Amino acid sequence: MQTTSQLHPTYYFSSRSSIRSNGRMKLRGWNSSQLSFNGRGQSLRFLTPIRKTRLFVISNADDGHAYAPVIEEDINTNHAPSSEPETFFSKWSPPKYLWRGLSVLVLAGQVIIRTLKGKVHWRNTLQQLERVGPKSVGVCLLTSAFVGMAFTIQFVREFTRLGLNRSVGGVLALAFSRELSPVVTSIVVAGRIGSAFAAELGTMQVSEQTDTLRVLGSNPVDYLVTPRVIASSLALPFLTLMCFTVGMASSALLADSVYGISINIILDSAQRALRSWDIISAMIKSQVFGMIISIVSCAWGVTTMGGAKGVGESTTSAVVISLVGIFMADFALSYCFFQGAGDSLKNCV
């Protein structure tokens, strides 16, 4: 014959008194943290937090009956640790600009490693190369032509007064090759291509398409980031050379047609002033600028949060940071490439 143990509830209405039911359950007061259940042939004892309850009786004006709302206070009376102790860094999160800046460095390292290992999606790279190169030629050449003509107006006016007409071509050639062509081309590409990169990857990030690539077994860095970085690094040097050529041609035409300085004089002066290192430095600069534009734009895209608003903010921020990075890198590279006193204009006077 089997017997079963039954547990009956005990109700408390004061802090010291208790009501027992059949002697099978015993609770020790409000201020005790021990709870014991006694059954036939077995006894269980364990610690439990005690919950204090305050009872207030308020008359109800509607039906005349009283109702008693219960207000519970959770107090841990057994002095057991409820959670881990809070530290200074438990609620601290890094600023957005900090972890985004670190993501640029991490992404750049991943691109370099994956490229050296040969894990590049070449079909996507060719598509991005066509997008960055041929489809950006028109706006780059147009911008370079008008920048060249604007600088020609300033140089020719001042140099003519000094009787240095033969130095105009050399000054324009040095200005275009060393600074104007790579910087202007990079600014145009940052506004056109960098914003597109950030918007595309940001939209893919907020719509979880990058997670889909991971589920399908494809690395998003190989498929999305590396092709864009390679395409920008290869296309910008050629765009810079084309912009340099168009800028010099527009300057020579304007000087000949408006100020009466022969095209042959300008071209001969440019040939005397230019050296091979000037062209090489312009290509190196533009390649570095292309890497900055693509990596910053992709990093800002893959760290986008907040839906459509976040995509817009990431796109704007990516272009701004890219331009700042271009100017900083231009200063650093110019300082490294062109130190000391120059003598390029000696042959143009």
Distance in Å from the first CA to the final CA of the chain: 122
Query: Does the pLDDT value for residue 295 go beyond 60?
Result: yes
pLDDT digits (tens, 9 = 90+) for 144-193: 999 999 988 888 888 877 877 788 888 888 889 988 999 999 999 999 99
Q: What is the pTM of this model?
A: 0.70
Mean pLDDT of the 57-72 span? 51
Higher per-residue confidence, 230 vs 2 = 230
Q: Is residue 190 part of a domain?
A: yes
Q: Is residue 322 part of a domain?
A: yes
**Contact call for residues 282 and 174 (beta carbons, < 8 A):** no
For β-strands 34-39 and 66-67, DSSP reports them as: unpaired
Domain count, the chain: 1
**Cα distance between residue 117 and residue 125, in whole Å:** 16
Q: Is residue 74 part of a domain?
A: no
Residues in contact with 227: Cβ distance below 8 Å, sequence separation at least 6, in sequence order: 120, 121, 122, 124, 125, 127, 128
Mean pLDDT of the 216-236 span? 89
Mean pLDDT of the 134-138 span? 90
Number of Cα atoms under 13 Å in the Cβ half of residue 106: 11
Q: List the domain range (segments joined by +) for residue 308.
A: 107-145+167-245+268-336
* pLDDT band with cut points at 50, 70 and 90 for residue 100: confident
What percent of the chain has pLDDT above 90?
32
Q: Is residue 29 part of a domain?
A: no
147 Cα distance to chain centroid: 31
Query: Does the pLDDT value for residue 203 go beyond 50?
Result: yes
| Token reading at 136 | 């950006």
Q: Is residue 99 part of a domain?
A: no
**Cα distance between residue 335 and residue 339, in whole Å:** 6
Q: Is residue 5 part of a domain?
A: no
Q: Is residue 294 part of a domain?
A: yes
pLDDT digits (tens, 9 = 90+) for 309-328: 889 888 999 999 999 999 99
Looking at residue 293, what is its pLDDT? Answer: 94
Secondary structure string (H, E, C) spanning 81-150 = CCCCCCCCCCCCCCCHHHHHHHHHHHHHHHHHHHHHCCCCCHHHHHHHHHHHCHHHHHHHHHHHHHHHHH
| Token reading at 236 | 């910008």
* pLDDT band with cut points at 50, 70 and 90 for residue 10: very low
Mean pLDDT of the 40-66 span? 50
Query: Does the pLDDT value for residue 297 go beyond 50?
Result: yes
**Cα distance between residue 294 and residue 41, in whole Å:** 76
Looking at residue 31, what is its pLDDT? Answer: 45
Residue located via tokens 């957005």: 96
Q: Is residue 3 part of a domain?
A: no
- DSSP lists the bridge partners of residue 39 as 42
